[in-house]
Amino acid sequence: MINKHISSLEERVQKIHKESVVIDALGGLGFLYSDILAGGINATHVTLCARNYEGLGYVLDQITRYYSLIEMAAPDRVMLVEEAQDILKAKREGKLGIIFGFQEGSILGENKTLLPILHKLGVRIIQLTYNEANLLGCGSLEPNDTGLTSLGIQVINAMNRLGIVVDLSHLGYRTNRDAIEVSEDPVVFTHANPLALKNVPRNKPDELIRMVAEKGGVMGLTPYAPFCKSTPGKRPTLEDFLDQIDYVIQLVGIDHVGIGTDKFEGRMAEEQYIKHPPRDPKKIETPWGEQSYVEGFSHISQFSRITAGLLKRGYSDEDCAKIIGGNFHSVFQKVWKKPGF
C-alpha cells in the first residue's frame, strides 16, 4: 500500500510538471542545463551581474558566453527567452529557457539609455540594487535607507516602457515601497522570504508582500537556508520551506506565490568563494555548499520535491501549477511587451 501511494504521488508530480510551465525565478548557472532540466524546470532566470564592480564589460562577457552556449555548444538543449511565449516553446522542444537578468543596477551608472541596448541583448529582469546603495536606491543592508532616487524613478519608468521586470529582492524597505509605488507594471521578489518567519534584513515584511500582490506581482520563495524559517541551531528542512509558501498564500493568495531557488548549482570553487565572500557574512549562518539550502533540497534536480510536498499538504494540481511557474509566467506575459522606441 505504501509503495502504491508513493508511486501515485510520483506519477501525479510527473503529470503536473509535464502539463505545467515550471520557472525558477532566480536560478543558478544556465551552463549546467542538464542538472536544471533534470529538475523538470523549463526556464531559469540567470544572473549576469550581482556586484557593483561588475561593469558593462563583465556583463557583455557573460552574455557572450551564454550566446555561445545557445548558438553553438548546446542549441538543442538551451534557448534564450525574450518573450513569455518563448518559455512555452522551450517546454515544447525540451529545452531550458534562459532568462537574462541583473541583481545589481550599478552597471547603468548615470546612463539609463543603456537600458534599450541591454533589452535588445536579451535582458528581461533587473534588480535595482543588491545589498548596498547605488545611484538608484538603497539595498537591504543599508543602515539609512533614503529610498528611490530620481535616477531610480527614471530607470523604472524606462523599464516599464521597454518591458523589463522590476525585481525588488535585495532592496531596502523604503526603496522597496518607493519602487512598488512608482512602477506601472507588476513588480516581483524573485527570491525572498517572509520576515515574519525569519528575521533577517533580506526578508520582506507582510506590508511589502501585500503591496507587491496588490500591484499584480509575485513573490518567489527561496529554499536558501539562512533566509528560511528554522529552529534555532538546526538546518531548516523542506517542510520549513513549505511552511513559508503556506504563510504567503494565506497572506496574499495563491496567485502571488512562486519559487526562486537562488540555487547556484555551479558547485562554486572554494577559491572563487574566498575571492568574493558574502557581503553580509554576519547574516550567513551556514557554510557554502549543500548546507546552504534546506535539508531535502540539496540539488536543483530535486526541484520536483517541492511539488510533491505541496501535494502532500493538500494543494490541487492547479494550485501547484501556479506556484511552480504559472504565476511568474503570467507576470512575464504582462510585462514583456514589445518596446516602443
Instruction: Give percent above pLDDT 70 in the chain.
Output: 89
For residue 28, the model assigns a pLDDT of: 87
With 50 as the cut, is the pLDDT of residue 145 above it? yes
For residue 51, the model assigns a pLDDT of: 85
Residue range 6-21: mean pLDDT, rounded: 90
Based on the structure, what is the number of domains in the chain?
1
Here the CATH number for the domain that contains residue 187 is 3.20.20.140
On whether residue 10 sits in a domain, the answer given is no
* DSSP class per residue in 287-323: -SSGGGB-BT--SGGGTHHHHHHHHHTT--HHHHHII
Other CB atoms within 10 Å distance of the CB of residue 67: 15
On whether residue 90 sits in a domain, the answer given is yes
Cell numbers 565572500 correspond to: 277
For 137-216, strand residue ranges (E) read 165-167, 187-189
CB neighbour class for 279 (10 Å; exposed up to 12, middle 13-18, buried from 19): middle
Q: Which domain holds residue 163?
A: 23-335
- What are the tens digits of pLDDT across the range 176-209? 999 999 999 999 999 999 999 999 999 999 999 9
What angle (nearest 5°) sits at the alpha carbon of residue 259, between those of residues 256 and 263? 155
CB hemisphere CA count around 278 (13 angstroms) = 13
On whether residue 14 sits in a domain, the answer given is no
| Alpha carbon 60 to its chain's center | 21
On whether residue 7 sits in a domain, the answer given is no
On whether residue 181 sits in a domain, the answer given is yes
What's the full length of the chain, in residues? 341
